[in-house]
Structure 1
Amino acid sequence: MHRPPHSQQQLTAQFAELGVETGGLLVVHASLRALGAVDGGAETVVRALQGALGESGTVVVPTFTAENSDTSPDYRARVQGLDEEAAAAVRERMPAFDRLTTPASPTLGVLAETVRRTPGAERSAHPQTSFAALGSGAGKIVAGHLPDCHLGEDSPLARLYDGWAQVLLLGTGFDACSAFHLGEYRVPNPPRRTYRCVITTQGRRTWWSYEDVDLTDHDFAALGDDFERGCDSGTVKYGQVGDASCRLFHVTEAADFAKGWLPANRPY
């Protein structure tokens, strides 16, 4: 029997039942494929999130861009097997980051780009790990994202930590949880490395190099499994929205757990 697509009203009610806090900050990592058919598509999902959060709430999504960097896993995959001349051609075609027009990486899913393009949304200025926010607290969340701080104290993640923001994994796993990255900055003496990306400086396409914490999410699935097992009952809320299995928890608890877990489980 054919089921009708999920409606905005239904999704709003399910977000609220899951525990999305009215007036709160909510970081969303979403798979719309897992959510199933929605009447109106991604735009309806955004409105449903806004409905659950209310007029004083704010929805936040990562709008990361790996396509403008030659130190990213995306670049290494693109040039694997190419000779030096062909790899140089790939670098030459890389677009410079523009905060207003550069799309979020396709790997982040349709919802991230939909939020970024929604009228009233604001975006942080980091050329590789920007966030977009929509709602009353958007400007405060995205302000002051320094270009040499991917996901640390001078990024939206730290503002979300301080604001007791929630994380919604909507049909995604812990491997997508950006809050764990804040824990990488807060371990003692985290390893650092050099990054390079293409930016626009005074209207010109420019390569820029900077040093920051050496970030990886290769073990976030295992970290998330231990977070679920090790945290107090009720820290992670579970439920279904549309066809998607969901988890809901706070940035603060996830980042704090990661800060303790990482030194014991990574060969620093």
Structure 2
Amino acid sequence: MSTPTAPTVRHSRSGLAGQLSQLGVERDGVLLMHASMRAVGSVNGGVRAVVAALRDALGRRGTLVVPAFTPENSDTSPHYLDQVRSLTDRAREAVRASMPPFDPATSAAPSMGSLAEAVRLTEGAARSVHPQTSFAALGPSARKLVAHHRPDCHLGEDSPLARLYDLRAQVLLLGTGFDTCTAFHLGEYRVPAPPRRTYRCVVTAGGRRQWWEYEDVALDDSDFATLGADFARSEYGAAVRIGPVGSSTSRLFRFTDAVDFASRWLPSHRGGVPVQALCRAHG
């Protein structure tokens, strides 16, 4: 005799909004979100209903921000290196030749997940112009947040992350772990003399497709899970809110807390260890 399968739980927009508010999402605040739709589970209305629930919890004057990174147009990114590892030189060159240049209006960010893509594609969303680590935002502070993102500054003082710090934004890990926490990258810029490396990606200049090379801080998220675990055990840990959103277990905390902790943690835990620039989402 077969065992009956448990019915799939379907979540509603209003239910998700209530859970987000109960978790502590601030009404009229600014929220940086990293999300896994798979962890959230089945939702009536799909991914757009989740975006709507987030905006409901934030209120009319709240602003939602997501990463819209594009490692797909770089030949120095781990994404590209994984893709071409077993290819011949000729096949590698064909992959490079097929890479489209970054366009903030049209370039997809598939590696960021369906929720981030839904935010980017929502009418009224604004997006920063960095060809590798752009951010998309919805709400009254969106355009101000994503403006003036320097193309040679991935995630430092001339990026939306610094603006999020100034605004004391919240960070929501919606069914994801601390390994996805982009706020920690701003901490990498705030350590003394951070290591630097060369990046390269495809852009449009003067109406023509071309490769652009630049130098920036060597980003490395390979230890962010450990960093996050220590953050949660630190004096900041009591302020990390944990609770259900849909079928996920989610975390909510203050952006400034994450950056301040990372900027102190990184020098003592990476000292003397060569940085390998392992961040999966960057060029």
When normalised by structure 2's length, the TM-score is 0.93
Aligned to 1:15: 20
The CA deviation at 1:136 is 0.8
Q: Distance in 2 between matches of 1:22 and 1:82?
A: 50
Bigger Cα displacement from structure 2, 159-168 vs 79-88: 79-88
Q: Write the mapping of 1:46-57 to structure 2, written as runs, cut at 5 A.
A: 46-57=51-62
Q: What CA RMSD, in Å, does the superposition of the two structures yield over aligned residues?
A: 0.9
- Return the alpha-carbon distance in structure 2 between the equivalents of residues 73 and 92 of structure 1: 18
What CA deviation, in whole Å up to 9, does each residue of 1:116-137 have, x standing for no partner? 0000000000000000000011
Among candidates 158, 178, 185, match of residue 181 of structure 1: 185
What is the aligned counterpart of 1:137 among 124, 134, 141?
141
Equivalent in 61, 64, 81 of residue 76 of structure 1:
81
How far apart, in 2, do the equivalents of 1:4 and 1:252 lie?
Answer: 35
SS state of the match for residue 67, structure 1? Answer: helix
Give the Cα separation in 2 of the matches to 1:260 and 1:61. 25
| 2:105 is equivalent to residue 107 of structure 1 | no
Alignment partner of 1:209 out of 213, 232, 249: 213
**Any residues of structure 2 matched to 1:80-229 within 5 Å, and which?**
80-104=85-109, 106-229=110-233
- Whether 2:14 is the aligned partner of 1:6: answer no
* Aligned equivalent of 2:280: none
Q: After TM superposition, give the deviation of residue 203 of structure 1 in Å.
A: 1.6
Corresponding residue of 1:60:
65
Match of 1:234 among 238, 247, 251: 238
Q: In structure 1, how many angstroms separate the alpha carbons of the residues matched to 2:9 and 2:42?
A: 8
Specify every segment of 5 or more residues in structure 1 that has no aligned partner in the other structure, as ranges. none
Please, which runs of 5 or more residues in structure 2 have no aligned partner? 1-5, 273-283
> 1:90: how far off?
0.9
Opposite residue 122 of structure 1, the aligned amino acid is A
Query: Does structure 1 conserve the Cα–Cα contact (< 8 Å) formed by 2:34 and 2:181?
Result: yes
Opposite residue 43 of structure 1, the aligned amino acid is: R
How far off is 1:89 after superposition?
Answer: 0.9
What is the aligned-residue identity percentage? 61
Q: How many equivalent pairs are there?
A: 267
